[in-house]
Structure 1
């Protein structure tokens, strides 16, 4: 099998195949942006409880911990193109099931947990497959730039998705919004269908899944750099998890603002993320990676997290979470490019699955503790407690 470098030796950085992939990704991420606001909005409509919102977020993160090492094995040994197509079609079907169940009077809170769990599994399969095929489509010396383009697409969608979700929620309601949202994933599946991808021809044997998952963990544990990345991710995720898991409750119950103000706060993640996508590449060329990562961690924890936690207003919430998320997005761009450079492509899915599983351990904890603390001590003290964890990653 040709190495990724040999496969892309004659390929330009920006080609029709990569452009088609980005177009599909734009629609897919736009759907994710709508879903990001619609799911907690639905959970709040059904229960009005911060603890329920936090627990839904915790369940949403569980697949990244329990199943993802095995998902990484499948991504390494099966057709990544087929995985992406099937996963996107299933995401469409899962979302369409919500308004159908509501229409026949069978929608219960328990199904929201199943929905969030299923969407997380399928989203991971798409995202890791995407990361694994990018090094086969662009030269290695353009990986940071390519990942910046991908992150730019994600941030544009993060900006537009919540704004579109607010319009749809106000005009058509939660269930019609989810129904319309579902079809965005079909566009991604259609685009991937016409992309030529270097496929793995290995046979999958169920009895080898555990051993292959252990191989990814061993590779991760044997690399000091990857262990540091996992530790930094755990601490960052602990702080950001509390914010994301209960943000809708904070906006609706405590600040008492409508879906339009709430969508602007969500959209601020996209606004600052776009800035991060634009400046990360040039900054990486001028600064040492260690210095840049340290500075981003400091700015995100001290400026972004503290501003969000200490000043209870929707404008400062938008600024704080925007700065915080923008710094984390820049960190992700740098770390993703670095992982793609140092990890062999044939084992990338296993390593990424193991790393993601470990890094996401803090998310369920943050969701449950966040919902509990906000009900017990209030949002300011609860958010303030978790914002300090971002600074600890320094």
Structure 2
């Protein structure tokens, strides 16, 4: 196929996606929620610090964010496959709305306590996880299979944009207003999401005649493990996630204390990483037409390995800057194609369980990796961690060449 034909084919898919009202409603609503939720994510740790003056309790709240993914991931996946998915989304939004309203009232009456934030935070982050997995599960029901990569590229593009500007916006709002005002904006974003989900039309739902939790969990695992390419991609991203801990955990200390850069330069480094992610979303919808999808995963992992090695060798902030561009680019293009692959290769009635199981696998090692990396940072030179990470990713790249990933198209 000629270059002109490939471009015309991609443009046709884009036009078809943008004409899909169900997809547009979900994209608009989720974008509004994603943008405004940064205020909540920043406010809660600050409120906890105001109450306790303790970084430990702030860290505990961070751990609560991981519990739904690691502990409840498979169960939530089963529920997504058991029940009407639109109703699950609506219920999760309503629980978040009432939880945020409760926090606002407690703040306004100066009666808020630490346990309120832990409990309501757990409900909110559980609902966020449930909504996100349900959102991913219904995309194949409203978007044609040939358009999944394009649709996921747009979803990831909006997420990347709002994740880039959201924290700065949240910080400014909290600085110049109050927690109540900030959380009210988060509440408005949730209401917009609710309004956008209500008109979404999904295929008719057939209620399950019986439930067997153990059997359903096993079915989800069997489907994931039986899809060799998808399972290999899941393990590959797990390896990338483990390696990314070294960047997110150690890079700030390394850049400021060892390299001696300024806070402004550090901010630019992470901005460049976000730009890499944006570029990846723009390229992702074209890339599968030129490169085997399996090799996209493998090349992206190898690219991160080289970027980590460059950070190990670097003595200048601009080398770190360029390296982080490729880290952001590679992580994002992997995510876009992984979401599309998971949706394309999984039957609809199993998709919730496969998403729950794969998400749990990909994030299960992160807390342990965090502990190992922070321990190593105290006993060896920090830049050696980037060398170890680079070698780890190189080994994963070589192993991936021997898997079914190379058979993907």
Aligned to 1:193: 198
Q: 1:35 to 1:317 in 2, by over 3 A?
A: farther
Aligned to 1:68: 73
Aligned to 1:166: 171
Task: Confirm or deny: 8 A CA contact 1:70 1:353 kept in the other structure.
Answer: yes
Q: Alpha-carbon deviations, 1:67-107, whole Å to 9, x = none?
A: 11111111112111111122123223334444544552543
| Matched position secondary structure for 1:198 | coil
Unpaired segments of 5 or more residues in structure 1? 1-10
Q: Alpha-carbon deviations, 1:274-304, whole Å to 9, x = none?
A: 2110011212211122322222112223316
Task: Confirm or deny: 8 A CA contact 1:158 1:269 kept in the other structure.
Answer: no
Number of aligned residue pairs: give it. Answer: 378
Using the TM superposition, give the Cα deviation of residue 173 of structure 1 relative to its aligned residue in structure 2, in angstroms.
Answer: 5.2
Task: Give the alignment's TM-score, normalised by structure 1.
Answer: 0.80
Does 2:85 correspond to 1:77?
no
Unpaired segments of 5 or more residues in structure 2? 1-14, 398-409
Task: Confirm or deny: 8 A CA contact 2:312 2:384 kept in the other structure.
Answer: no
Task: Confirm or deny: 8 A CA contact 1:216 1:347 kept in the other structure.
Answer: yes
Aligned to 1:295: 299
- Partner Cα distance (1:53, 1:294) in 2: 37
Task: Confirm or deny: 8 A CA contact 1:309 1:383 kept in the other structure.
Answer: no
Aligned to 2:407: none
- Partner Cα distance (1:244, 1:253) in 2: 15
Q: Out of 111-120 and 60-69, give the one that drifted further.
A: 111-120
Task: Give the alignment's TM-score, normalised by structure 2.
Answer: 0.77
Using the TM superposition, give the Cα deviation of residue 17 of structure 1 relative to its aligned residue in structure 2, in angstroms.
Answer: 2.5
Using the TM superposition, give the Cα deviation of residue 242 of structure 1 relative to its aligned residue in structure 2, in angstroms.
Answer: 5.4
Does 2:366 correspond to 1:363?
yes
Q: Out of 155-164 and 165-174, give the one that drifted further.
A: 165-174
Of 137, 144, 154, which aligns to 2:142?
Answer: 137
Q: Structure 2 matches for 1:185-334, cutoff 5 A?
A: 185-203=190-208, 208-241=212-245, 243-244=247-248, 268-303=272-307, 307=311, 320-334=323-337
Q: 1:240 to 1:123 in 2, by over 3 A?
A: farther
Aligned to 2:127: 122
| Matched position secondary structure for 2:205 | coil
| Matched position secondary structure for 2:212 | helix
Higher relative CO (Cα under 8 Å, sequence separation at least 6) belongs to 1
Does 2:28 correspond to 1:23?
yes
- Partner Cα distance (1:378, 1:312) in 2: 21
Task: Confirm or deny: 8 A CA contact 2:281 2:333 kept in the other structure.
Answer: yes
Q: Alpha-carbon deviations, 1:238-265, whole Å to 9, x = none?
A: 233455578899999999988x988766
| Matched position secondary structure for 1:285 | coil
- Partner Cα distance (2:126, 2:313) in 1: 31
- Partner Cα distance (2:369, 2:245) in 1: 5
Task: Confirm or deny: 8 A CA contact 1:269 1:326 kept in the other structure.
Answer: yes
| Matched position secondary structure for 1:360 | helix
Aligned to 1:351: 354
Using the TM superposition, give the Cα deviation of residue 58 of structure 1 relative to its aligned residue in structure 2, in angstroms.
Answer: 3.7
Using the TM superposition, give the Cα deviation of residue 16 of structure 1 relative to its aligned residue in structure 2, in angstroms.
Answer: 2.3
- Partner Cα distance (1:294, 1:143) in 2: 20
Using the TM superposition, give the Cα deviation of residue 212 of structure 1 relative to its aligned residue in structure 2, in angstroms.
Answer: 0.8
Using the TM superposition, give the Cα deviation of residue 141 of structure 1 relative to its aligned residue in structure 2, in angstroms.
Answer: 1.0
Using the TM superposition, give the Cα deviation of residue 334 of structure 1 relative to its aligned residue in structure 2, in angstroms.
Answer: 0.8
- Partner Cα distance (1:95, 1:253) in 2: 39
CA-based RMSD of the aligned residues comes to: 3.8
Q: Out of 300-309 and 150-159, give the one that drifted further.
A: 300-309
Q: 1:392 to 1:42 in 2, by over 3 A?
A: farther
Aligned to 1:8: none
- Partner Cα distance (1:245, 1:111) in 2: 29
Q: 1:107 to 1:311 in 2, by over 3 A?
A: farther
